[in-house]
């Protein structure tokens, strides 16, 4: 069986002969049939709505279908936006809870350390107080550095 390159070459030779005015084809009927199967046409469209031609064809086959297709696209868009809003609000809520829980834990550790110092356990109280304070400050600083890194990464990817 001939490979695709030789089939294309044969098709080019036949096209050249036809263009020069030759009425007889050098290919057999089976070869001509095979060449016809090599011809391929493709139309592609991207987006939430079909192309205007396709939309008109739908409308011609089923009156009112274009309006239904538009309604479906609008509903899907509205649903996607609603879902994005839920995700964003959930993320904000989770971040807010995390900040408050971190604050409460740090404050508890600092109060525990202060209480231990008042009871005479100076080293333990000092360690508890300042380790809680260091964890709180460290988390804050790390979060700011991470935000700056993400912002710079977004700016550099947006500039490309």
Q: What are the pLDDT digits (tens) for 129-158? A: 888 888 888 888 888 888 889 888 888 876
* φ and ψ of 98, to 5 deg: -65, -40
Query: Is a pLDDT exceeding 90 seen at residue 70?
Result: yes
Segment 5-29 mean pLDDT:
54
Q: What is the pLDDT of residue 160?
A: 53
- Asked if the structure places residue 96 within a domain, the reply is yes
Report the number of distinct structural domains present in the chain: 1
Q: Please say if the pLDDT value at position 19 is more than 50.
A: no
Residue 70: inside a domain: yes
Residues in CB range of 76: below 8 A, 6 or more apart: 48
Q: Which domain holds residue 59?
A: 52-155
Residue 40 belongs to some domain of the structure: no
Q: Which two tokens stand for residue 39?
A: 């011809």
Residue 139 belongs to a domain: yes
Sign (positive or negative) of CA dihedral 14, 18, 21, 24: positive
Q: What would the pLDDT profile of 101-110 be if each residue is shown by its tens digit?
A: 888 988 898 8
């Amino acid at each position: 069986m001939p490979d695709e390159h030789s089939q294309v070459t044969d098709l080019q030779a036949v096209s050249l002969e036809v263009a020069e005015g030759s009425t007889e084809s050098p290919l057999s009927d089976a070869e001509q049939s095979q060449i016809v199967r090599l011809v391929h046409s493709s139309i592609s469209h991207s987006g939430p709505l079909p192309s205007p031609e396709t939309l008109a064809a739908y409308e011609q086959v089923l009156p009112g279908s274009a309006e239904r297709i538009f309604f479906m696209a609008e509903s899907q868009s509205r649903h996607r936006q609603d879902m994005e809003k839920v995700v964003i609000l959930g993320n904000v809520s989770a971040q807010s809870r995390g900040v408050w829980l971190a604050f409460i834990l740090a404050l508890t550790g600092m109060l525990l350390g202060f209480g231990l110092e008042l009871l005479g356990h100076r080293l333990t109280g000092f360690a508890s107080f300042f380790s809680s304070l260091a964890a709180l400050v460290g988390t804050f600083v790390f979060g700011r550095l991470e935000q700056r890194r993400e912002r710079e990464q977004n700016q550099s990817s947006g500039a490309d």
